[in-house]
């Protein structure tokens, strides 16, 4: 590179983010410099999404690599920098998310940068969350293990919700179960005449919703599923999903023997779970129960008292999109996130306070889908 070219290179490097218009002018005025370095990767380094958009429009490859990052691809660089706008642009330009080696893995890059938003973009684009790498010392590394090791609990929780497991864990396939659950849920969510429904008051300014349920007893894990319909008509501030507002509904699983009609259904020992899922929506809409993340634990008074007769459980865990069939696509670019409502013991609430959510979620994940089913006398998770 000549002295003159070096000066132009310095000017372009200094303006790629600070003064995009000047960068574009230099790029257009000096065709000899257009491919002297991988500018898309440089834009990723500097979080220069406007310059990156221009470069991709000029035909630059979204899979450019840059020696500054050990020849990592641009999308891995952008993810490490936590630049969701750059990651989105590269994905729209069909950047590859395949990664044979660890340093090329953009999801691990997002974890390095601590960016849940980048991680979600990559997972939604189809990156392999189960990809395993062997480290020099013989240890195994995948995205979940890396997220936990770096203390990125929000990303770890999200990966768990998508079915990720730690190296060495039993990753039993539940794809058939997920498919059945998802298809049934869409069927009943969109049905004009559901199997069973009742009105739920959402508060003075929000009207009503419905509580619907269907019987999953023909599945591998038989249970009854209840869910709200109508809460999602009101957008909620839920930054956990990478958007300012999102549509959410509530879901609860009951044992398939749970009485839903007849005299037994009126017994207070069977009514309390239904009463909670009926009343939670109005508290969520009023803001008395905020949803700041993908999970929240609420207590029935303080100190906590039982949620109802016949149980010692006194808290509720609301956890969103716990399994990989969620969120549910209900239309083009329309998603509904489901918060499962799971009763907890006070000891489990206290365990989460002392240790964080991830250890509690790992204990629940070890039980599989059964961990979400309401059982008034179940064993403690921890």
Cβ contacts of 94-101, under 8 Å, gap ≥ 24 = 94/62, 95/62, 95/63, 96/63, 97/122, 97/125, 97/126, 97/127, 97/128, 98/128, 99/127, 99/128, 99/131, 101/133
Decide: residue 136, CB within 10 A, 0-12 exposed, 13-18 middle, 19+ buried: exposed
* pLDDT tens digits, one per residue of 216-259: 555 555 678 888 888 888 888 876 676 677 889 898 989 888 88
Averaged pLDDT score across all residues of the chain: 84
CA–CA distance, 51 with 15 (Å, rounded to integer):
9
pLDDT of res. 176:
44
**What is d(CA 77, CA 84) in angstroms, rounded to the nearest whole number?**
11
- Fold for domain 37-131? 1.25.40
pLDDT digits (tens, 9 = 90+) for 100-132: 899 999 999 999 999 999 999 999 998 999 899
Rounded alpha-carbon distances, angstroms, from residue 16 to 41, 55, 63, 278, 330: 11, 11, 19, 54, 40
Under a CB-based contact definition with an 8 Å cutoff, are residues 167 and 134 in contact? Answer: no
**Which part of the chain is CATH 1.25.40.20?**
37-131
**What's the token pair of residue 263?**
């005299």
Write the pLDDT tens digit of every residue in 151-173.
Answer: 888 898 888 878 788 776 654 43
> Rounded CA gap, 343 and 56, in Å?
50
């Amino acid at each position: 590179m000549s002295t003159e070219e070096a000066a132009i290179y310095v000017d372009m490097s200094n303006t790629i983010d600070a003064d995009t218009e000047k960068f574009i002018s230099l790029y257009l005025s000096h065709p000899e410099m257009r491919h002297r370095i991988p500018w898309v990767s440089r834009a990723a380094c500097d979080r220069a999404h406007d310059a990156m958009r221009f470069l991709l429009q000029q035909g630059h490859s979204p899979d450019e690599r840059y020696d500054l990052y050990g020849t990592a691809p641009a999308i891995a660089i952008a993810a490490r920098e936590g630049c969701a706008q750059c990651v989105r642009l590269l994905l729209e330009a069909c950047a590859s998310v395949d990664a044979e080696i660890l340093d090329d893995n953009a999801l691990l890059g997002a974890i390095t940068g601590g960016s849940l938003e980048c991680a979600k973009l990559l997972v939604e684009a189809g990156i392999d969350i189960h990809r395993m790498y062997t480290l020099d010392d013989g240890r195994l590394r995948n995205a979940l293990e890396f997220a936990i090791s770096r203390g990125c609990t929000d990303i770890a929780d999200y990966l768990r919700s998508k079915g990720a497991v730690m190296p060495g864990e039993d990753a039993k396939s539940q794809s058939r179960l997920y498919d059945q659950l998802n298809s049934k849920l869409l069927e009943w969510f969109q049905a004009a005449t559901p199997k069973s429904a009742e009105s739920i008051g959402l508060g003075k300014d929000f009207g009503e919703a419905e509580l619907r349920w269907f019987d999953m007893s023909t599945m591998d894990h038989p249970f009854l599923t209840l869910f709200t319909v109508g809460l999602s008509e009101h957008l909620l501030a839920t930054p956990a999903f990478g958007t300012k507002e999102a549509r959410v509904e509530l879901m609860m699983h009951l044992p398939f023997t749970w009485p839903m009609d007849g005299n037994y259904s009126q017994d207070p020992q069977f009514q309390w779970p239904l009463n909670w899922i009926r009343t939670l929506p109005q508290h969520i809409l009023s803001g008395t129960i905020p949803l700041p993340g993908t999970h929240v634990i609420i207590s029935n008074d303080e100190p906590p008292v039982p949620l109802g007769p016949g149980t010692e459980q006194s808290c509720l865990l609301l956890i969103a999109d716990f399994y990989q069939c969620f969120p549910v696509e209900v239309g083009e670019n329309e998603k509904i996130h489901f918060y499962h409502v799971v009763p907890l013991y006070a000891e489990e609430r206290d365990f989460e306070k002392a240790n964080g959510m991830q250890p509690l979620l790992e204990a629940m994940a070890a039980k599989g889908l059964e961990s979400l089913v309401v059982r008034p006398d179940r064993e403690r998770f921890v």
